[in-house]
Chain A
């Protein structure tokens, strides 16, 4: 769905109501990220907002504003491992509409197990081109990074 369609379907075209476990608030449609392919397992979620707050930092919340309810806790993988690197293919850059990989934003999804220990998915990070407000989750065929890297806060 195009940006115009999205704005049209809102009762109030200026703002979009976002309901999350962290509270309810209004988001500007210009802050909405487009994930044309959704996320693996959440293929019908095409639009997300990233929620940040001083108190949550460096954790952020990736929240789907349409499709099935999906809220993820996320963190910049470079804060977890300072030398973290994910190589993008030409195809990846084409999907992002990006020329310069240094301008991209990265998020790794956080999972919390039954014991309350948190892990970060460093294998399949989410990459966002803020210039185009578009992103996707990288599905690497060979990655040395684990799906469940223990999250510790320095």
Chain B
């Protein structure tokens, strides 16, 4: 990792179009400004990590998702002939 010492209002450049500037240094945090091209996504790390985790969890349950689809198919098949009302379509362990 590259490590820089920066004072208030000093910046670093990444590539041609990305600038990271220290706006304010407080006791509990540092306020940072990021200027980047519109098409470059900029995220708070912890939010990105949370979504990573949820995605891995979603992909990890693909086998269970298959069961869910099977169950939905059965429900759909049962529900079709006389269009029975009140079918419980909540997914559950099968």
Q: Can you name the residue of chain A whose Cβ is closest to the Cβ of B55?
A: A41
Q: What residues of B have a CB within 8 angstroms of the CB of A22 in the complex?
A: 66, 69
A91-B41, A139-B51 in contact; A71/B75 too (CB < 8 A)?
A: no
- State the CA gap A115–B64 with chains docked (Å): 10
Size of the chain A interface, CB-CB below 8 angstroms: 42
How far does the alpha carbon of A124 sit from the alpha carbon of B44 in the complex, in Å? 14
Q: Across the A-B interface, how many residue pairs have beta carbons closer than 8 Å? A: 120
Complex contact A116–B48 (CB within 8 A): no
Whether A41 and B53, one on each chain, are in contact in the complex, defined by CB atoms closer than 8 angstroms, is yes
Q: Report the contact-size class of chain B (Cβ under 8 Å from the partner).
A: 35 or more
Instruction: From known contacts A37-B41, A41-B55, A153-B90, infer whether A147 and B50 are also in contact, taking CB-CB under 8 Å.
Output: yes
Query: Could you tell me if A72 and B59 are in contact, using CB atoms closer than 8 angstroms?
Result: yes
Judging by beta carbons under 8 Å apart, are B91 and A153 in contact?
yes
Cβ of A115 and Cβ of B75 under 8 Å apart? no
Known: A91-B38, A153-B75. A124 touches B54 (CB 8 A): yes
Select the residue from B57, B65, B69 with max chain A CB neighbours within 10 A: B65
Alpha-carbon separation in the docked complex, A109 to B50 (Å):
14
Write out the residue numbers on chain B whose beta carbons fall within 8 Å of the beta carbon of A141: 43-44, 47
Q: Are B62 and A21 in contact (CB under 8 A)?
A: yes
B89 touches A112 (CB 8 A): no
A42 at the interface (CB under 8 A from B): yes
Residue ranges of B at the interface with A (Cβ–Cβ < 8 Å): 38-41, 43-44, 47-59, 61-69, 72-73, 75-76, 89-94
Give the top 5 A-B pairs by smallest Cβ distance, nearest first: A41-B52, A116-B93, A112-B64, A91-B38, A153-B89
Q: A115-B93, A154-B89 are in contact. List 7 more A-B contacts (CB 8 A).
A: A22-B66, A42-B56, A72-B55, A110-B65, A112-B65, A141-B43, A153-B89
